Structure 1
């Protein structure tokens, strides 16, 4: 699996032959060359030899390898809106279909047709209710004005009818007349009672009891005329409060109607909502009626058929179709390669069943979460394949296993240097010892590009065919 860009950790000692002529560069490069030259002179007597390699021209690719499974670009599971007897099934599994093509149909659609008619009527009724608000707006506004006048009159009546503690019910003359009447009857009652011997029952029943009754009635009239009962006071106050609230509401209703051309905004909102809901129900009813005939929503291949003509179908999936003209591959790569699995990166896909065909595509989705698989942490994503023609689509079936290579970066016809020949000079600079005439070494600074585990791209400083030193090999 290709590695991420990083310098080799296997920095070898350099030992140069004693006869080498050195070209010393200034600064860090000059010191590095001087040190290597001394090392070479000390090692020359030991019989060590210099390893070399050629700079070549070729292609370099940084990629991540993983596995994947082909899935359809889209899938539709088609079902009838209601259960019923199947009139016809017009396709078979594996058959190619085009968008809009009839696939199957129910025999009896009378209930669905009736539902459309009922829904259409509900739309018309809801529309009429909405229209009536506009038509009746002048009448509604006039009624609101009358309601305000009635509320004002009711408030005036309630205000005039208010009763309070200490307020007399009758005028003074009437109250005093009731008082005098009570006093007279009470005096007469006392006289009659005084004349009773306490034994004569007829006297008691015919004189005492009537006298007492008259006195009680007279007292009740006197008390009644003196003021109002608590219940009457509470009721009058409640009536006044109710009249005030009614007037405020009537005035608010009138103001709302005047501001909306005589249409109650709340009733308008209700009517509009009812009409919208009725239209949705109508559209659903029409869709259900249309759904009694299953048609292909896109070009594709029939994946499954759940019955045949004459069968009773439920409301579950009856026919499924898939689109393999826009296939996708769901892939997994090791977490160490997550830097390469980036949306937009190119990908090469080879299916196990089609080893001679290379399909290309692009990463269109990467799941932002690692998944545990087989004891490893993997990153999952989706590659959208780019088919050259319909013939490629004909080769594919849902569920094919594949090897997936995601291309993070590549360089075509690039100058490539063996990684062992590259030296880190520090400060972001790199150098290479170029082998010249007679084995002489020259430190050449270079600009590098992408790198894998073996080669690094040279952007400037070297050309293909040059010989460079990669280190020493002991010969003793």
Structure 2
């Protein structure tokens, strides 16, 4: 029995010693802390802000006929490229043709009236001239021998005055007739112009953004306009049975005025200025990158879910036929550029909690704190105004393998205590 107890005690001691080796042996095996460094370098630092939005058309033309009628020969659809003056559709209205014919007939009648007035004036003037020169009257003889008898006619002053009044009246009639000819001719031209509106053409060159009519629709009277806007509306592709003043039959966007409109956060907007260069990328056009310049900054912001943003309009430096209205676009706006400055990675920069900054440089294998003065910064790099020299290495990351080992040692410690 005593022998068995000695064996049991020996086993317990061995287990205890083994557990102690696992805990302390592993616990004492520590790896050295390592540092990742990068050198302070001289170069060009660019600061920028970003925004996202859509491609817009700054100038649109709404096609709104000013005559009534039925839509016919519709020849365009959404997305079509059109030239200025290109046929879009026709409007059937026979009454306009009748009006042109009536206006032409009135014009011809006015010309006839003018001619009659001129003949009357000529006769009145001849009568007056004859009276003033002691005019003669003539009569014919009878029988087989024809004789011409000429007698002097005598006109009193009153008679001559009457003849003069007839001439004046004839002159006045001519003036009235001439004015009437002009007025009737203008009406004829106007009726022709109105009738010509039955053929509806594109007022500008561009892309058809909306088509809100179809053949057979009845058009009411509306007004037409060419507007400058901050954005353009894309067509839903649907058409209604009739047009209204609130919905233009056709809308065309001038691709010569295509721009990007992006939203910029209120924190970044103070740094954005008109004329700043931008880089534009498009979700739908992989690998396509265009440049532009800030053209306009909205003075009024938009609040959405507590976030305030401002619209920034960007003009393209060059056009690209692949870029279409309403495409999603992201913009990087270059707010400031500094050349030949000392630059470090942002991961190396630390704050002292009092608006000051410092970095850590290695002296041998020991990190040493170095106070620095910072300047321009972006999301990845910062300018160092003073405190560092070009080529000095700063710590960007500390790698401590013992953090994992310590966690592992805790597990071994649990096993040992469990054995107890």
| TMscore range, shorter length | 0.3 to 0.5
More relative contact order, 1 or 2 (CA 8 Å, 6+ apart): 1
Which structure is larger by alpha-carbon Rg, 1 or 2? 1
